[in-house]
Amino acid sequence: MEALSLDPLAVLRVLCGVWFLPHCIGKVRNLGPASQTFAKAGLHPARAFVVLTIVVEVLAGLGLVFNIYPEVAAALAAGVLAGASYAVLKINGFNWRWQKQGPEFMVFWAIAALLSVAGY
């Protein structure tokens, strides 16, 4: 059984990093619509913000998954997720729940990423 024992914080850290993959793929595949969303949130130049977000998400994701400067990676993750939370609130108004397009998932994800590296 000892071979199966995993550090729960390490698993959480890896999961927090892996979750950036579909976000990056979605933005890359839909650069135009993503840019429109960023513009609605008041982030100009929108396309530059999308590209910057992709870069930060890739760095955060790789850092968390491969344990490369995990504190920095978690800070990048929390920063980009805070920006996403701001954008969601700006576009949709204050709706906490994700079912109403609120930021609860992004806030949870940011906190989880930060807590996953708290012991380093």
CB-based contact 62:17 (threshold 8 Å):
yes
Look over the chain and give the mean of its residue pLDDT values, rounded to a whole number: 93
Number of domains in the chain: 1
Token pair for residue 34?
């993503």
CB-based contact 85:98 (threshold 8 Å):
no
49-94 residue pLDDT tens: 999 999 999 999 999 999 999 999 999 999 999 999 999 999 999 8
Residues of the domain holding 23: 2-116
Could you count the other beta carbons within 10 Å of the beta carbon of residue 88? 21
CA-based diameter of the chain, in Å?
53
